[in-house]
Amino acid sequence: MHVDRFYATADGGSAFEDLEISVKQFGEDAWGNKLGTAFHFDSPSVQLFEIEAGAFQDWHHAPRRQLCIVLAGIWQVRTSDGEARQWGPGMAFLPDDMTGQGHQSKVIDGPVKILFVPLPDSLDLTLYRSSTSDDA
């Protein structure tokens, strides 16, 4: 699964990084179907988020490191380096910019519904990098 991560850079800005969370463990269910799973982790407080059509959030930080899965609508984030990315239903992103300038968020088509899944601080994202970054 492709996941767009945005994070605080060493210069106080923010940028995107591409992650690939791939299936690493394989098995079968009781009916002989092949199953694949990726990493697992405990999450203290999964939350459903909804924001109205036309909403805009100026520069702000992520409240925590979390995996976000869009359920409805189209959500856009712009990092301080000027890059903007959008996500629609079934797509995932990972806010990880709790310091620095942060990011801007905007509803492109809404309302937007997102499932927030907080990640443990101990989760090593280097296992999932598809690009390298000195600031990540």
Indicate whether this model's pTM tops 0.85.
no
pLDDT tens digits along 76-113: 999 999 999 999 999 999 999 999 999 999 999 999 99
CA angle 63, 83, 86 (to 5 degrees): 70
Give burial (CB, 10 Å; 0-12/13-18/19+) of 136: middle
| Average pLDDT for the chain | 88
Q: What are the residue boundaries of the structural domains of the chain, listed by start?
A: 2-123
Choice between 131 and 47, residue whose per-residue pLDDT is larger: 47
- The CATH class given to the 2-123 domain equals mainly beta
pLDDT score at 34: 84
Residues near 20 by Cβ (< 8 Å), separated by ≥ 6? 1, 2, 3, 128, 130
